[in-house]
Structure 1
C-alpha cells in the first residue's frame, strides 16, 4: 500500500523525517498537513494503526494548541470531539505523520522510523 507523509514544510522535525525517508528510498505521497489535514475517518485509521493514545496526536507546543487553551479543555472533551478538532486544523496535529494503511508513526524518532519504515 502507498505511504502517505503528512508534514509541514516549515517544520524542522518534518524536514528531518522527510530526509530520512528519502535517504532510505521510501516512496511516499506528500501532503501539507496545514492545507489538507487528515479527515476524521483518516485520523481514526491512523490512530488505530499507531497504537498511540489520542492525546499523542496533539501538537502541544503549537500556537493553536496554546492559544485555544486546549491543555485545560481536552480532558473534558469526548474522543469524537477531539478527533473532530484535530481534523479541523492541521496545525493542531503533531507532525509528521507517516501512514501506509496498516502502520503509522507520529513525530520523528529515527529508531521508530528504522523499525517501522526500513
Structure 2
C-alpha cells in the first residue's frame, strides 16, 4: 500500500485546509488534486461512492452555490446516475475534501473519522 493518500480539495475551502493541516500534523503524505479543475470522473465516482459506504446524495455539497443553482427539487427528483454525472461535471458540487486511501474513501472532514481510519491503517 502506498504511504501517500489522494485528497481532492478546493483551495478556497477552509474545511479542506483544516483537513490538509491535520494530515500534515499526523505525518501523512497527501497528493492534492484540485477538485474544481479535476473533479472526480464518473468511473472514479462509481468506485469511490461504493468504497465510502455513503449514498451518492451524501456526496453533495448542499451548502454550495452549485447545489443552490440546481435547486433542491431538481436534486430530489434526480436519479443516482444523474447525480453522478453532475458531480463529475462540477467539482464544486462535491462535498469536500474527498480522501482516497487504497480501498477506503472518506468524504468531508471529520477529525474523529479520519483518526479512526488512520489509526487502523497499519
Q: 1:46 touches 1:101 (CA, 8 Å); kept in 2? A: no
Q: Secondary structure at the match of 1:38?
A: coil
What residue number does 2:60 align with?
58
Aligned partners of 1:117, 1:44: CA distance in 2, in Å?
24
- Give 1:96 shift: 0.1
Q: Is the 8 A contact 1:49 1:101 kept in 2?
A: no
* 1:19 aligned onto 2:21: yes
Shift of 1:98: 0.1
Contact kept? 1:34, 1:91, Cα under 8 Å: yes
The answer to whether 1:90 aligns with 2:87 is: no
- How far apart are 1:54 and its partner, in Å? 1.0
What is the TM-score normalised by the length of structure 2? 0.91
SS in 2 for 1:114: helix
- Larger relative strand fraction: 2
How many residues were matched structurally? 117
Structure 1 vs Structure 2 CA RMSD: 1.1
Q: Which residue of 1 aligns with 2:108?
A: 107
- Structure 1: stretches of 5+ with no match in the other structure: none
Which stretches of structure 1, 4 residues or longer, exceed 3 Å deviation after superposition? Answer: none
